């Protein structure tokens, strides 16, 4: 059996898969090992009878006009991807206020200017500023600034600031803590380029990348958890699976949580193994997956838009601390309909609700899972009560569930917290101090923060570029525009 590869990638999250697609397309002999029986990590889904649910990712920012479009085009696979377009992709409800986010910045600006008439000029200036062509200029101007400082500079209306703040749920940190650069990267790459999701659910995206990777000759092993990354003279040499199988390579890319990579997988301690314990992961998520029989799908069709519902304008309540034990209720919920297609579902409807929550402890979630499932369902019914006729599926995922299925520290939804301090110190870049070891995914930082699928796809592309260059191959694609 040939057990030597040009490159081994540990983990089939989107970062690992994108990286694998680039490297296999370049003709390298690549192995991906994934601990779960299917690919995707946070971007996957599951079925219960006729109901399908996305476990994590629901929107794909940047599929049109963004970095994901460029990446999928470079991989020659954009045209084959089955996407669906939702316009507007999101409606935010906050006390007496209702506002929509559109799939492009122009319509979003129009909507925001209509709702916040007094701030119309400021909104135009703000949008122009954060969408400035020259990102490098922007970078040098605000690299030491929080997003709140920027919001305070442009706006007076606290409700408008609260709307921008809640959109940071897509990054997991409030405006007074998040680096302005990370927030702006989120708006440029994601919020202003929303509107697309996968036609058959988010699992489809991961499966699609697996298919392309295999078509290029890549090999993927499922249900194959890596136990150790073995080194020789501080250079990577091989991986050892939990079941004892061993595969050799001088280039190993970890798509696994960075704490796990440096503290558990790597066979010796580095400076990073020590530094990592002082860094903070982003918040996790509590999710409810509900399969419903609705009364009459036709009459409620216009209600089925993705909803971000906030019961409070107070950002401290939206973005709690990971060790916060006095967490009591959800201050916002995001409701999505992952698989709304009348011809397929009849009067059956899958609904998923998420909220950011602290990890707290295994005991806390084991004791309180049911309580919070019921609290979340109560909120759903408050807004969408008319939908529900009969509940067929009722399941939840806590931070402990996300930790179990992805191995992300504390079930983190977005890798490292993108606070000003952590962004400044280039927390854990794609290149590491161990020869031949690279990171990809939302724990591989770029100085801008991670921002979901577009961010991890960029990190997968970066890791591929570094490995190809190391192996003396040409990187034909140039830089990616922010
Ligand atoms: C509930 C939720 C909703 C989200 N919604 C969105 C959204 O709508 N849009 C968006 O852009 N982003 C969203 N995000 C964020 C986004 O999903 C993640 O940032 C991104 O998918 C992370 O990708 P990754 O490549 O870092 O890998 P991960 O998804 O973290 O995957 C890592 C993979 O490594 C595997 N692995 C771990 N340890 C081992 C081991 N020892 N051996 C082998 N394999 C191993 C895991 O099983 C997993 O498959 C959401 C996240 C969550 C949790």
Which 3-state string (H, E, C) describes the chain?
CCCECCEEEECCEHHHHHHHHHHHHCCCCEEEECCCCCCECCCCEEEECCEEEECCCCCCCCCCCCHHHHHHHHCCCHHHCCEEECCCCEEEEECCEEEEECCCHHHHHHHHHHHCHHHHHHHHHHHHHHCCCCHHHHHHHHCCCEHHHHHHHHCCCHHHHHHHHHHHHHCCCCCCCEEHHHHHHHHHHCHHHCCEEECCCCHHHHHHHHHHHHHCCCEEECCCCEEEEEEECCEEEEEEECCCCEEECCCEEECCCHHHHHHHHECCCCHHHHHHHHCCECCEEEEEEEEEEECCHHHHHHHCCCEEEECCCCHHHHCCCCCCCCCCCCCEEEEECCCCCHHHHCCEEEEEEEEEECCCCHHHHHHHHHHHHHHHHHHHHHHHHHHEEEEEEEEEECHHHHHHHHCCHHHCCCCECCEHHHHHCCCCCCECCCECEEECCCCCCCCCCCCHHHHHHHHHHHHHHHHHHHCCCCCCCCCCCC
Whole-number pLDDT of residue 1: 55
Is-contact 373 394, C-beta < 8 A?
yes
Q: How many CB atoms lie within 10 A of CB 71?
A: 23
Give the pocket of ligand 1 (CB within 6 Å): 10-16, 33-36, 41-43, 56-59, 61, 225-226, 255-256, 285, 287, 354, 402, 406-408, 413-414, 441-442, 450, 452-453, 456
For the CA of 241, the closest atom of ligand 1 is 42
Closest ligand 1 atom to residue 456 Cα is: 25
Distance of alpha carbon 328 from alpha carbon 302, whole angstroms: 32
387: Cα within 13 Å, side-chain hemisphere: 23
**Best of 17, 245, 255, 356 for a ligand 1 pocket test (most atoms within 8 Å of beta carbon):** 255
Contact 119, 160 (CB under 8 A): yes
Note down pLDDT in tens along the chain; length 482 residues: 579 999 999 999 999 999 999 999 999 999 999 999 999 999 999 999 889 999 999 989 999 989 999 999 999 999 999 998 889 999 999 988 999 999 999 999 999 999 999 999 999 999 999 999 888 888 888 888 999 999 999 999 999 999 999 999 999 999 999 999 999 999 998 999 998 999 889 999 999 999 999 999 999 999 999 999 999 999 999 999 999 999 999 999 999 999 999 999 999 999 988 888 889 999 999 999 999 887 766 666 666 789 999 988 887 778 887 777 778 889 999 999 876 555 556 778 889 999 999 999 999 999 999 999 999 999 998 887 777 778 999 999 999 999 999 999 999 999 999 998 888 766 788 899 999 999 999 999 777 776 799 999 999 999 999 999 999 999 999 888 77
| Distance from residue 348's CA to the centre of ligand 1 (Å) | 28
Atom of ligand 1 nearest to the CA of 11: 34
> What is the distance between the alpha carbons of residues 91 and 89, in angstroms, rounded to a whole number?
7
298, exposed or middle or buried, with CB in 10 Å at 0-12, 13-18, 19+? exposed
Question: How far is it, in rounded angstroms, from Cα 315 to Cα 63?
Answer: 29
Beta bridge partners of 1: none
Residue 300 Cα to ligand 1 midpoint, Å, equals 33
CATH homologous superfamily, domain 7-41+201-279+418-470:
FAD/NAD(P)-binding domain (3.50.50.60)
Q: Is-contact 283 316, C-beta < 8 A?
A: no
Residue nearest to atom 21 of ligand 1 (CA): 42
Q: Ligand 1 test: best mutation among 42, 187, 206, most atoms within 8 Å of CB?
A: 42
Find tokens 């570094």 and name the residue.
466
For atom 41 of ligand 1, which residue has the closest CA? 226
Strand 196-198 relative to strand 30-33: parallel, antiparallel, unpaired? unpaired
> Which residue among 18, 39, 45, 57 is best mutated to probe the pocket of ligand 1, counting the most ligand atoms within 8 A of its Cβ?
57
Mutational pocket test of ligand 1: of 43, 185, 461, the residue with most ligand atoms within 8 Å of the beta carbon: 43
> Measured from the CA of 285, which atom of ligand 1 is nearest?
1
Spatial neighbors of 142 by CB under 8 A, at least 6 apart, are 150, 180, 181, 184
The beta-carbon contacts of 327-331 under 8 Å, at least 24 apart in sequence, are 327/357, 327/358, 327/360, 329/375, 330/286, 330/355, 330/357, 330/372, 330/375, 330/376, 330/379, 331/355
Length of the chain counted residue by residue:
482
pLDDT at 428: 80
Q: Which pLDDT score, from 0 to 100, does residue 341 have?
A: 52
Q: Domain map of the chain by residue range?
A: 7-41+201-279+418-470, 105-192, 283-406
Alpha carbon distance 364, 399 (integer Å): 10
Nearest CA to ligand 1 atom 24: 441
Distance 451 CA to ligand 1 centre (A): 12
Rounded Cα distance between 367 and 350, Å, is 26
pLDDT, position 281: 93
What whole-number distance in Å separates Cα of residue 179 and Cα of residue 185? 10
pTM over 0.85: yes
Atom 46 of ligand 1: nearest residue by CA position: 406
pLDDT of 318: 82
Using alpha carbons only, what angle is made at residue 250 by residues 247 and 251, rounded to the nearest 5 degrees?
95
Q: What distance in angstroms lies between residue 236's CA and the mean position of ligand 1's atoms?
A: 24
pLDDT score of 425: 64
CB 153: neighbour CB atoms within 10 A? 12
**13, 260, 332, 376, best to mutate for ligand 1 pocket (most atoms within 8 Å of CB):** 13
Are residues 147 and 183 in contact, defined by beta-carbon separation less than 8 angstroms? yes
pLDDT at residue 426, as a whole number: 67
Q: Which among 2, 21, 160, 141 has a CA at the least distance from the CA of 78? A: 21
Cα 149 to ligand 1 centre (Å) = 30
The protein residue whose alpha carbon is closest to atom 45 in ligand 1 is 11
Query: Are 433 and 402 spatial neighbours (Cβ–Cβ below 8 Å)?
Result: no
Atom of ligand 1 nearest to the CA of 287: 1
Q: Whose CA is nearest to atom 27 of ligand 1?
A: 13
Q: Is the dihedral of CA 377, 442, 412, 281 positive or negative?
A: negative
**Residue 1 burial (CB < 10 Å; 0-12/13-18/19+)?**
exposed
User: What CA–CA distance (Å, rounded) separates 130 from 300?
Assistant: 37
Residue 299 Cα, ligand 1 centroid: separation in angstroms?
A: 36
In ligand 1, the atom with minimum distance to the C-alpha of 411 is 53
Closest residue by CA, ligand 1 atom 3: 56
């Amino acid at each position: 059996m040939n057990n030597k590869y040009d490159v081994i990638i540990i983990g089939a999250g989107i970062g690992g898969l994108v990286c694998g697609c680039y490297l296999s397309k370049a003709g390298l002999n690549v192995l991906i090992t994934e601990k779960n029986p299917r690919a995707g990590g946070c971007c996957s889904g599951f079925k219960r009878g006729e109901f399908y649910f996305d476990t994590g990712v629901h929107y794909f920012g940047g599929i049109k006009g963004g970095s994901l479009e460029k990446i999928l085009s470079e991989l020659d696979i954009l045209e084959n991807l089955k996407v669906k377009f939702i316009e507007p992709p999101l409606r935010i409800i906050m006390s007496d206020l209702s506002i929509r986010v559109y799939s492009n910045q122009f319509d979003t600006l129009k909507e925001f200017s209509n709702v916040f008439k007094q701030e119309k000029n400021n909104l135009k200036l703000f949008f122009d500023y954060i969408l400035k062509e020259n990102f490098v200029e922007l970078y040098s101007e605000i690299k030491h600034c929080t997003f709140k400082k920027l919001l305070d500079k442009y706006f007076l209306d606290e409700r408008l600031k609260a709307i921008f703040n809640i959109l940071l749920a897509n990054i997991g940190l409030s405006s007074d803590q998040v680096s302005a650069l990370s927030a702006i990267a989120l708006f440029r790459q994601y919020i202003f380029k929303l509107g697309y999701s996968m036609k058959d659910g988010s699992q489809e995206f991961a499966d699609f990348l697996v298919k392309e990777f295999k078509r290029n000759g890549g090999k993927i092993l499922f249900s194959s958890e890596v136990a150790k990354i073995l080194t020789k003279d501080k250079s990577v040499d091989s991986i050892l699976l939990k079941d004892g199988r061993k595969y050799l390579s001088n280039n190993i890319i970890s798509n696994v949580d960075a704490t796990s990579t440096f503290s558990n997988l790597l066979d010796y301690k580095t400076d990073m193994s020590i530094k990592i314990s002082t860094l903070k992961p982003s918040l996790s998520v509590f999710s409810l997956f509900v399969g419903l029989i609705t009364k009459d799908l036709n009459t409620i069709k216009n209600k089925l838009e993705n909803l971000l519902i906030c019961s409070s304008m107070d950002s401290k309540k939206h973005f709690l601390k990971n060790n916060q034990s006095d967490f009591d209720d959800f201050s916002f919920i995001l409701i999505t309909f992952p698989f709304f297609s009348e011809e397929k579902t009849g009067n059956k409807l899958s609904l998923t609700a998420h909220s950011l929550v602290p990890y707290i402890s295994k005991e806390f979630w084991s004791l309180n899972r049911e309580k919070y499932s019921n609290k979340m369902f109560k909120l759903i019914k408050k807004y969408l009560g008319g939908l529900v006729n009969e509940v067929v599926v009722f399941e939840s995922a806590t931070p402990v569930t996300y930790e179990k299925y992805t191995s992300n520290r504390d079930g983190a939804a977005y890798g490292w917290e993108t606070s000003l301090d952590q962004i400044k110190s280039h927390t854990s870049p794609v290149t590491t101090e161990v020869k031949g070891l690279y990171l990809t995914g939302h724990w591989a930082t770029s100085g801008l923060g991670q921002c979901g699928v577009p961010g991890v796809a960029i990190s997968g592309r970066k890791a591929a570029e570094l490995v190809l260059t190391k192996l003396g191959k040409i990187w034909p694609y140039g830089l990616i525009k922010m």
